[in-house]
Amino acid sequence: MSTDAAPTLGHWAKELGAEFPLLSDHDRKITALYGVLAANGYANRTTFVIDMDGKIAFIQEGNDAVDPTAADEACSRLAHKKQQ
């Protein structure tokens, strides 16, 4: 999800060859609800992993949130936990 407008995200999706939808929060309601909307009106880079029950299982903020490695590991831990 991004605070960018949907047409911008559509362009990025094509450019990246994304196989999933890029969601727009152009009105910044969701980013505000998740507590990542900065005073300047932009969202702080944040990765959330949400489990199947809708609970936040992992949060990574800052420049490291661009690298999906930690989120992949969190998802792997959730999948392993579910199998037990």
- The residues pairing with 56 across neighbouring beta strands, listed in sequence order, are 50
Query: For 1-24, what is the mean pLDDT?
Result: 90
Which residues have a Cβ under 8 Å from the Cβ of 8 and sit 6 or more positions away?
2, 24
Question: Tens digit of pLDDT for each residue in 35-78?
Answer: 999 999 889 999 888 888 999 989 999 888 888 788 888 888 88
Q: Which pLDDT score is estimated for 20? A: 83
Q: Which pLDDT score is estimated for 84? A: 65
Question: Regarding predicted confidence, which is higher, 31 or 16?
Answer: 31
- Give the H/E segment covering residue 47: strand 46-50
Q: Which pLDDT score is estimated for 66? A: 80
